[in-house]
Structure 1
Amino acid sequence: MVRIIIEDLVFRPQGRPVIDGLSATIGSDGITAIIGPNGAGKSVTLRLIDGLLRPDGGSVKFGDRAPEAVRRSFVFQSPALVRGSVRQNAALALMPLRLSRQEAAERLDATLYEVGLLHRADDAARKLSGGEQQRLALARALVIHPELLLLDEPTASLDPAATAAIEEIIRVAAQDGTKILLVSHNLGQVARLARDVLVLSRGKIIEHGNAEAIITTPRTSEARAYIRGELPWTSFAAAC
């Protein structure tokens, strides 16, 4: 299990406080959602955890493991695809692993099948629909068998059917043992997927705990104000 320890994290580009003394320990398996209003620092927090941004203070640790020892993947809101086929795009993630040709092919086929794109493996990636492109981005992230998967609003621009397909892939990945950090504005999605929730406001965590408890009975006035302004939800995730 991946244990993430965030201590007094600070990020102040050009002196402007974006993350201001953020601390948390994320030790549960399954899916942890990061929610909060625009400008709260959710996406920046995700990038700091992954190492895509360098903090101005504080630290992110993975228990007693070196950051480079934790196999992880990042999926952005808008997938970045290169010219080439679906298979070629997914295969890019495998290059550092130096697998045998057979093992790489088997892993690619299995992952593309899991995301419902094996039948499109030889098609041009950029001709896929928006939902299919995001499923390809997930395939590229999952093909390395990550211990930690970071997702930044992965369904923000998708219709309900495409969103449901992405959520099922995320749910299965969590059930298979991948720890997932999910930034989302969709509280229905958080309710369906997340085991626990971090609520951010002005670069700090104001609540952290069980997803159902936080969404139904938030303790802080800031969390209540944010949650009451969001869309309704239908069900809470079972243990992932």
Structure 2
Amino acid sequence: MSDLFPLTVRDAVASRQGKRLVGPVNLDLSGQGACVVLGPNGSGKTTLLRLLHGIARLNKGQITWSCPKAEAQRRQAFVFQHPVMLRRSVLDNLAYPLLLRGVPRKSAQTEAAKMAERIGVSQMLDRPARVLSGGERQKVSLGRALICKPDLLFLDEPSASLDGRATREIEDILQSAKSAGTALILATHDMGQARRLADRVVFLLGGQVHEEGTATDFFARPKTQEAAAFLKGDIVEC
């Protein structure tokens, strides 16, 4: 477990134009394995991830890491649902985070080539990243996030709109990262994916933590009627 954790969230609230999106949220995360954030559309999953990562404004409350905030942010990465590719090759997209950290270009490109092999895009290093398929773009986005070896990776719907094969390839990369010690906090609407990846589940409803616990307990023995209904596929209103 990284000394980035535990992560402590106390009475966290995020609002926009007077509308509360999330909160108050109280949460303690250990950083072991993968924590999957579940909930119906509009429950605040994306906003919570953005709050924890520091790219959404915290209106009230506190989010505390076990190291200084600047260091914590340096040791994290975020993969968005719709990845943005730079106007350059796959190789240069993968190398870019290392260049930002002052790594010499040749060394950065060498590491980028290794990452491309790891994520299965080594045959397209010279291809413009913006012409890739959705699954290929997401793999490059994952590689770009992982190349600096973060202790924690946030993922917002990492395989939304992808077919089964691409989803499996994304999950293989995530399982490999988790096995190597990278903590994962991800939001997903894919219940199968949640069951395959989760070690812990946070179930959001109406912007608040409605239920939280181990994946084994949550999927087998949900504590609330709302969580049980959600797992059955029933409509659960926020």
For Structure 1 versus Structure 2, the TM-score category normalised by the shorter chain is over 0.9
Matched, 1:50 2:28: no
Aligned to 2:97: 93
Matched, 1:182 2:186: yes
Query: Equivalences for 1:24-173 in 2 at 5 Å?
Result: 24-63=27-66, 65-70=67-72, 71-173=75-177
Q: What is the CA–CA distance in structure 2 between the aligned matches of 1:114 and 1:189, rounded to whole Å?
A: 21
> Percent of aligned positions with the same letter in both sequences?
36
3-state SS, counterpart of residue 39 of structure 1: coil
Give the letter for the 1:77 counterpart.
Q
Query: RMSD of aligned C-alpha atoms?
Result: 1.2
- TM-score calculated relative to the size of structure 1: 0.92
The question of whether the paired residues in 1 share the 8 Å contact of 2:91 and 2:109 is answered with no
Give the letter for the 1:143 counterpart.
I
Q: What is the CA–CA distance in structure 2 between the aligned matches of 1:208 and 1:126, rounded to whole Å?
A: 38
**Offset at 1:102?**
4.1
Matched, 1:223 2:227: yes
**Offset at 1:106?**
2.7
Q: Deviations over 1:59-113 (max 9, x none)?
A: 11112x1122121111011110121110111122122311233432232112111
Q: Which runs of 5+ in 1 are unaligned?
A: 231-240
Q: Deviations over 1:139-197 (max 9, x none)?
A: 11011111110000010110000000000000000110111101001111011111111
Equivalent residue pairs, number: 229
Give the letter for the 1:33 counterpart.
V
- TM-score calculated relative to the size of structure 2: 0.93
| Residue of structure 2 aligned with 1:16, choices 19, 22, 27 | 19
Give the letter for the 2:85 counterpart.
L
Give the letter for the 1:8 counterpart.
D
Aligned to 1:235: none
3-state SS, counterpart of residue 38 of structure 1: coil
Give the letter for the 1:182 counterpart.
L
